[in-house]
Chain A
Amino acid sequence: MLFLRSLWKNKYYLVLATALMVVVSRVWEASPLIAALPEKGFIDYTELFVPFLLILPISFLLYDNFEIELALTCGVKTVKLMLYKFFSVLLYTLIPMGMLVVFYKYTEFTPNSQTKIRIPIVIPDDYKVYMAVSAFVTILFFASLFLLVRVATKNCYAPVGLGILVYTIFNTLNTNIHSGYEDIRKCLFDPFLSNYFLGDEVPVNYYKVGPLWTYNRILFLGLALVMLVVTYVLLRREKLHQGFND
Chain B
Amino acid sequence: MKIEIKNLTKIYPRGKKKALNGVNIEIGQGIFGLIGRNGAGKTTLMRIVATIMDATDGEIYFDGKELKANKDEFRSSLGYLPQSTKLMPRMNIVEFLDYVCILKGIKNKTERKEKIANAIETVGLVGEEKKRLGKYSGGMLRRAGIAQALIGDPKVLIIDEPTTGLDPEERLYFLNLLSKIAMERTIIFSTHITADIEHLCNNICVLEQGEVKYLGEKGAFINRVEGKLYEHTGTPFEEEQLRKDTVVTSVAYVDGKPKIRYVAEAPVFEHSVPVAPTLEDSYIFALGGVKR
Contacts and interface: CB of A to CB of B under 8 A. Distances in A.
Interface of A: 1-2, 5, 64-67, 69-76, 238, 241-242
B180 interface: no
B75 A70 contact: no
Given A65-B84, A70-B148, A242 B103 contact: no
Contacts, number: 59
B158 to A, nearest CB: 8
B130 interface: no
A64 B102 contact: no
Contacts of A76: 103
Interface string B99-118: 11011110100000000000
B80 A70 contact: yes
**Main secondary structure on chain B at its contact with chain A?**
loop
Contacts of A242: 12, 53
A241 B47 CA distance: 9
Given A2-B102, A72-B52, A238-B54, 8 more contacts: A2-B103, A65-B84, A69-B47, A69-B50, A70-B80, A73-B79, A74-B103, A75-B103
Contacts of B78: 73
A28 B89 CA distance: 36
A54 B100 CA distance: 27
A67 B88 contact: yes
B84 A73 contact: no
B51 interface: yes
B104 to A, nearest CB: 5
B84 A66 contact: yes
B148 A75 contact: no
A75 B72 contact: yes
- In this complex, the member of B47, B87, B103, B107 whose beta carbon has the largest number of chain A beta carbons within 10 angstroms is B103
B86 interface: yes
A73 B50 contact: yes
Interface string B131-152: 0000000000000000010000
Contacts of A2: 102-103
A216 B99 CA distance: 43
Contact of B76 (A1, A64, A75): A75
Interface string B37-77: 00000000001001111100000000000000000100110
A75 B104 contact: yes
Report the 4 A-B pairs with minimum CB-CB distance, sorted nearest first: A74-B103, A73-B80, A75-B75, A66-B84
B99 A5 contact: yes
Nearest to A76: B103
A74 B105 CA distance: 8
B116 to A, nearest CB: 15
22 contacts: A1-B107, A64-B88, A65-B84, A66-B87, A69-B47, A69-B50, A69-B80, A69-B82, A70-B80, A70-B82, A71-B103, A72-B51, A73-B52, A73-B78, A74-B75, A74-B104, A75-B72, A75-B75, A75-B105, A238-B54, A241-B47, A242-B12
Contacts of B52: 69, 72-73, 238, 241
Contacts of B50: 69, 72-73
Contacts of B76: 75
A6 to B, nearest CB: 10
Contacts of B82: 66, 69-70
Nearest to B44: A242
A73 B88 contact: no
A243 B222 CA distance: 36
Interface in B150-166: none
A73 B105 CA distance: 12
A64 to B, nearest CB: 7
B84 A1 contact: no
Contacts of B54: 238
B75 A66 contact: no
A99 to B, nearest CB: 29
B102 A5 contact: yes
A76 B72 CA distance: 9
A124 B25 CA distance: 69
